[in-house]
Structure 1
Amino acid sequence: MQPKREKADETVKQMQWFEKLDFYDNPFSIDTDIEDELIGVDDILDELYYRVESGSIVFLEGQAGTGKTAVLKKVIGRFMGSKQVIFFDCKEIPDKRLNIERLMFERYGTIGKLLRLTPKNMILLLDNVPALSKKNTERAKFFFDQDFIKAIVLTGKSYSRLSMSEGIKERIGSRVIKLRRLTPEQVVELVNYRLGDAKLMNEETVKTIFKRSRGNLKRFLEYCDMACQIAVNSKSKRVKTKHLKKLFGGGDE
C-alpha cells in the first residue's frame, strides 16, 4: 500500500510544514542543492573529478534513487567557473535525438555566434543516457576526438545493458564508476544533516522509513517529507509511530 499525501485546503493557502519550523526550503527536497552534503560518495567524487580533469569518457552507474543526478550537480559546481560545462537530462528528449553541436555553441551566447568561436575543452554531462540513440553517442565521441569536448560523463542504471556505439564503449573502457545504495546508518547521517537542530525524527523512525522506501533515495526523501508534514500539521514536535501508521496505512505494503 502506497502512502497518500494529506489533502490541503484548496480555498486557504497554508504554510508548508517546514516554513512553520523556520526552514527557508524543504529540507527533504528531491532536487539536491549543489552545496548540499552527499553521504558516502567522497571516493566517487574524487575519481570523477580526476577523470574530468584528465580528459576521459566515464560512465556513472547506479539504480534509481542512488544519487546520480546529485553527483553530476557536484561536478557542475566544481567546474562551472570555466563556463564550459554542459549538463543535459536525456529523458527530456522525446525522440532520442540530441543536437550536441547546438548545446556546445549555445555556451558562447550571441557574441560567440557572431565571432564564430569554436568550442574547445567542453565538459559534457549527460544524465539518463539510455534515452539517447546510438547515433547521438557516436556524435559525442566524434566531438571528443576532435577536442571540442575535453571530458564526458554519462549516467544510467546499467552499463552492461546499455545500447551505445562500440566506438564510445571503447573510449569508456574500464572507466565505469558504480554508485551504491546508502546504508541505513548513512541515511540517518543524511537526515541529521538536513534537519540540523530540528529533532523531528529519531534513528529508529528514519530507518523504518528507509526500509519502506526499499533503498530508493528519492522515495525515502519523499516519505520523510510526508511524515514530517503529518507530524507538524498535527502540532507534534516529533514524527511518531502513529504518524507513520497514518502515512503507510498501518499495515504491510
Structure 2
Amino acid sequence: MSKLVKALMKSKSLVKPSRPQEREESASDSETDISVIAEDLALLEPESDSRELQVIEEPWLRSVPELSERRILHAGKNIPGVEKAFRELRTSLIEKTQGKNSTILICSITDDGGSSFVAINLAVAFAFDRRRRVGVIDCHLQNPTEYSSLLDEDVNGLTDFVENPECGIEAVFHTCGIPRVRICPPGKHLESQRDYFTDKRMQKLLVDSKRRNRENYFFVDAPSAAHSAGTRALAKVCDYVLLVANYGSATTRQLERALSNLPREKMLGICFNNDLSVK
C-alpha cells in the first residue's frame, strides 16, 4: 500500500457522515473508506434474491462484445478481483447512504482520472440488484463519455431538459441495453456561454429523478473537481460525493486541491483507479 493511501486512511477529516444519526460513529468507522478499483474488463454474475421482485422489462439488450469493447461490466464469467472490488464499493456506498435512494456525484481529481469508467460500472454493479433502477447522468458536455455512445445521437439529454421547460424527465433518461440502467446523455444543444449546472432546471432534474422511486440511485458523472466550477455547483445539490484518483500517480497536492473544492460533509470516500490489485 502506498504512503499516499496510508496517509489518507489515517485522516479522519476527509469523510464526515452527512446524516445526523451517523455522526456518533466510532473513530475507526469515521476513517476514510479507500476502495481500490482495477481498471480492467470485468464480467459480473447477477445476484440471486429470494424476495419478491418487481420485474422491469427491457426492450432490448446489448451483446457481450458491445459492452466489452466499451469496458462495461455485464453478466457472465468473472475476472478475478474486479467483481470483488466493485461489489465491495457498492456495499460500502449502500451502507453509508443507509440504502436510501440518492444522487451521488462522481468526479476525478484530474481530467484523466477515470471517473466515467467508475460511474458506469458502479451503476451496473448496483443494477444487479433486480429491485433497483439506476440512472447515470453524463455531465461531460464538451466531450461525451464512451457509454453515451450506447444511445442514438439524436436523443434528448441534460442540456435539452435545462433549455426546454416542456421536456420531462422521462424524455432524457434512456434505455441503453444494460438491464435496469438508464443513461441521460449531455444533450443535443450546447451553448458555450451558458452555465447549465447552476440552472434551477438542473436542480429539478436531480431532485425529481430521486423522488420517482425509492430504490433508485443516480450517479452524476462530472468533470474534474480541480478545474470545473460546474462540478462544484453540482456537488452542492447532490446528496453525496465520490472522488476518483489514479492509483500510483495521484499526488497529495492534487487531492488537497480537489477536496478543497468539494463539501467535506458529503464525501463518501476516495476510489483509486488503475490499480490491478485489490486492497
Instruction: Assess same fold via TM > 0.5.
Output: no
Question: TM-score band, normalised by the shorter chain?
Answer: 0.3 to 0.5
TM-score (norm 1): 0.39
**Structure with a larger share of its residues in strand:** 2
TM-score (norm 2): 0.36
